[in-house]
Amino acid sequence: MSTLLDIRNLGVTFDTDEGPLKAVDNVSFSIQQGEVVGLVGESGCGKSVTALGLLRLIPMPPGRFTSGEVFFEGRDLLRLPTDELRTIRGRRISVIFQEPMSALSPLHRVGAQLMETLQLHLPLDKRTAWNTSVDWLNRVGLPDPEAQMRAYPYQLSGGMLQRVMIAMALMLEPALIIADEPTTALDVTIQAQILDLLRTLKSQDASLLLITHDLGVVWELCDRIVVMYASRMVEEGPRRELFENPAHPYTRALLDSVLSLTGRADRLSTIEGQVPSPLAYPAGCRFAPRCPHAFARCHQEQPPLYSIADKRHSACFLSAPKKPDLLNPCPSEPLNP
């Protein structure tokens, strides 16, 4: 398996009236070919900005990159000329947005939007583009695709529109699909249909970056998980290891807050306090003010991302290697040497 996407030290800041807002701070992770990676965190943690940032889909200004490189098939997306980037967007990397209703144009028929995507990237005549679009709508399980091609987005339900979005994202057979909360706006029975569809991607050897706050969805689909908190990465690891043996106290707390469908505790375990404002992050570990294990050092320095096992990283001083080097007790090994 080869590395498809490699994000290194990505930093995105928005200049606001109240000062610079660090939305993404030093995020590094990679996606292998055919791998499904879940980017998990609560609202405002920077997961969507990370995903949109790597395709340069963030309005600049007010946004700007403060650091980082994003290597995709050997090229740095952040420094690519716009016309070259356009050949990658949609063709090699496509995005499924959360709100299909606002991602599609309300003034154009579904078919026209699908065909435009095809014809923009491939030398197809109208007839072939039409047939290919119908074929893909069929594949994503939309009933009566010929009729849906002639419909306007408002005539379709949310679940049907999300299928159109997925067809549009898959049509050009991209190497990477970024799905930003693809099922959050949908009902559970429709979500089950869409998850089933996304699962078939795995067999097509496409990589998927799935952004979600729903740990159940992550468990069902992902191979590897990246957890973010307050603009930074706190933990990374393969699904099963991370769920069964979380290293970072935040990951642990997040998993504890999942409500079981089968049992019932007397009291739910909670994370005290609130997420800090991105305009006023604490100096040390950003989770320290809410962390039950925090000690003095946590409030003073930011913990680096320690490597704790094969493919596993945790940004917590408690995850530091057991035998610290006395001269240099803290940073064990940088994530990307």
What is the radius of gyration, based on Cα positions, of the chain? Answer: 21
Nearest approach, Cβ of 19 to other proteins (angstroms)? Answer: 18
Residue number with CB closer to other proteins (120 or 268): 268
Binding site for other proteins (CB under 8 A): 42-43, 143, 157, 159-160, 187-193, 195-196, 213-220, 243-244, 253-255, 257-262, 264-265, 267-272, 274-275
Residue number with CB closer to other proteins (20 or 216): 216
Question: How far is the CA of 332 from the CAs of 31, 94, 235, 311, 337, in angstroms?
Answer: 23, 36, 16, 15, 11
Nearest approach, Cβ of 253 to other proteins (angstroms)? Answer: 7
Residue number with CB closer to other proteins (255 or 320): 255
Residue 23: what are its φ and ψ, rounded to 5°? -90, -35
In angstroms, the CA 326 to CA 318 distance is 16
Nearest approach, Cβ of 146 to other proteins (angstroms)? Answer: 17
Residue 39's nearest CA partner among 250, 200, 248, 234 is: 234
Nearest approach, Cβ of 114 to other proteins (angstroms)? Answer: 20
Residue number with CB closer to other proteins (163 or 306): 163
Nearest approach, Cβ of 290 to other proteins (angstroms)? Answer: 8
Are the C-beta atoms of 63 and 12 separated by less than 8 Å?
A: yes
Residue 318's nearest CA partner among 333, 289, 298, 336 is: 298
Nearest approach, Cβ of 288 to other proteins (angstroms)? Answer: 15
Residue number with CB closer to other proteins (77 or 271): 271
In angstroms, the CA 160 to CA 305 distance is 41
Residue number with CB closer to other proteins (265 or 327): 265
Nearest approach, Cβ of 213 to other proteins (angstroms)? Answer: 7
Are the C-beta atoms of 98 and 182 separated by less than 8 Å?
A: yes
Residue number with CB closer to other proteins (192 or 283): 192
Characterise 240 by phi-psi region: left (phi > 0), alpha (psi -120 to 50), beta (else): alpha
In angstroms, the CA 122 to CA 117 distance is 9
Are the C-beta atoms of 285 and 302 separated by less than 8 Å?
A: yes
